[in-house]
Amino acid sequence: MDQGNKMVARCALLLIIAISRGVFWILEQPRGSLLEMHPVIQALFTKHYIYRKFIRMGDFGGETEKPTWLYSGEAKL
């Protein structure tokens, strides 16, 4: 397994742990990222409701526009 796949699998595992514990989380990815298409992430997104929101960092005071996707799950209060 190459390094990129290992990092995606680790990220998915951390998200599963956060979801199972009811922790609020946000994952930030550049708009051009292919993370969302990875089979491990697809499996996670299929089993859990995940929100996706597009933002531009420039709208929040960033020096560049930097288009970004934010992913988040539901927190259990």
The tokens describing 77, both together, are 């209060």
| Angle (deg, nearest 10), helices 39-47 and 3-20 | 10
Closest CA to 50 of 30, 35, 71: 71
Q: What's the chain's average pLDDT?
A: 90
What spatial distance separates the first Cα and last Cα of the chain, rounded to whole Å? 37
Give all strands (DSSP E) within 1-77, no chain letters: 26-30, 50-56, 67-73
What pLDDT, on a 0 to 100 scale, did the predictor assign at position 54? 95
The pTM of the full predicted model, rounded to 2 decimals, is 0.83
pLDDT of residue 73: 86
Task: Show the low-confidence residues of the chain (pLDDT under 50).
Answer: none
Q: What is the three-class DSSP state of 32? A: coil
pLDDT, residue 14, reads 94
